[in-house]
Structure formats: structure tokens, C-alpha cells
Homo-oligomer: A and B are copies of this chain.
Amino acid sequence: MTSRPIKILGIPGSLRQQSYNRGLINAAQEVAPQGVEVTMYLLHDLPLYNADVEAEGDPAEVTRFKNAIAEADAILIATPQYNASVPGVLKNAIDWASRRPRTGGDSVLADKPVAIVGVTPGKSFTEPAQIDLRKILKFTKSRVMPEPQVKLGAAPDRYSENPELPDEETRQQIRAALDALVEFITVAEAKAAAAD
């Protein structure tokens, strides 16, 4: 481990200002352990994926998104569930990020450690969305952290005091996920170093 901060890119899968899932990223920023820096990345400005556009060179916002992923030690995705799966907004962002550079080599998602969390008002606990997201991120060759799986229901209750920050219990679950993610990154780095 170096002494530089561990950089985690937090991506809410919803664009709503008071999105419960954006609230999970707010929580991650608040409870991040010492030496861990959580930056929020909002997906509002990404265009729809279009290979004709890509062929003329990545739009500036796509470059910004890919760079943010490349520079992060890990990604924390907070996914809502829309129509029994991942929001189109989030999938579209992954579709852009999954593209390899024209100069060759892997995409910025390859080998990237990723933690997934999700909260919903409904009774699915975002389970179907998280299953699909794991499948998608397996295809992008990302390293998805297996445990803890943070799948939360009863969203309104968790935000009864503050619409943008969940209650203490939820924040502790996010903290536990961050602790596990730091461990997961460290193990991944040690393995990479050992393979050198």
C-alpha cells in the first residue's frame, strides 16, 4: 500500500437529484474511511451510445467519463431498478466505457474493481438489477466484489430525516462495503504485483 489516497468513483444509476441511490453515494462520501476519497460522477451529460459518433472520436463527455474511471482505483455503483433490470441510463454509460481505445488495449473497465449497491422502495431489493449488472460487468472483464451484497428495500424509511442522506444503519452498511472494497483493491493489487 502506498500512502496516496485510494480513489473511488461513485456512480449513481439514477439522474434524479434526490435519488435514493445517489443518496448512497452521498453516504459513501460521508462515511469513507481515512485515506479513501469518494468522488461522485453524474451521468447526465453522456450522449446515447452511437457507433457512428464514436467513429469520429469520443465526444468530450465520453472522454471525461473514461478518464474518471481510468484514474480511479475502484468504482462504486449505486443502482436503482427500472423495469426489472438496470436503468438504461446506467447501461448506456457502461456501453460507452466498455469500448476499447482505437489504439488497442483493454477498455477502462477491464480488471477494474467494482462494488455494487442498490436501494429501492419496492420489495425486490434491486436483486434482479444487480444480477444483470454483475452479468454485464463480467462481460466487460471488470472485477466485481462478491461480498457484501448491499441490496436494500424500504427506501423512503431510510430517507425520512434527510432526502439526500440515508439513516445511520444504511450509512453503516455503505461503510462496511467501502471497507471490504479497500481490502478487495489491496488483494487485487498484491496479486497483480506478485504476477509481475
- Asked whether A88 and B85 contact (CB < 8 A) given A15-B48, A48-B15, A50-B16, the answer is no
Using a CB-CB cutoff of 8 Å, which residues 54-105 of chain A contact chain B? 82-95, 98
Using a CB-CB cutoff of 8 Å, which residues 1-41 of chain A contact chain B? 14-17, 19
> A123 contacts the other chain (Cβ, under 8 Å)?
no
Query: In the complex, what residue of chain B is closest to A18 when comparing beta carbons?
Result: B52
Query: In the complex, what residue of chain B is closest to A107 when comparing beta carbons?
Result: B83
> A49 contacts the other chain (Cβ, under 8 Å)?
yes
Query: Is the pair B50, A44 in contact by a Cβ cutoff of 8 Å?
Result: yes
Query: In the complex, what residue of chain B is closest to A128 when comparing beta carbons?
Result: B135
Query: In the complex, what residue of chain B is closest to A51 when comparing beta carbons?
Result: B16
CB distance from A28 to the nearest CB of B (A): 21
Binding-face segment, A136-144, A145-153, A157-165, A182-190: A136-144
| Count of identical protomers in the assembly | 2
A90 / chain B contacts, CB cutoff of 8 Å: 88
> A179 contacts the other chain (Cβ, under 8 Å)?
no
- How far apart are the CA atoms of A87 and B48 in the complex, in Å? 10
- Asked whether A83 and B139 contact (CB < 8 A) given A88-B91, A92-B88, the answer is yes
Query: Is the pair A84, B49 in contact by a Cβ cutoff of 8 Å?
Result: no
Query: Is the pair B49, A89 in contact by a Cβ cutoff of 8 Å?
Result: yes
A135 / chain B contacts, CB cutoff of 8 Å: 84-85, 128
CB distance from A126 to the nearest CB of B (A): 14
A-B contact pairs, 15 of them (CB 8 A): A15-B50, A15-B52, A16-B50, A16-B51, A17-B52, A44-B50, A50-B89, A82-B98, A83-B94, A83-B95, A84-B135, A85-B136, A88-B95, A91-B92, A92-B92
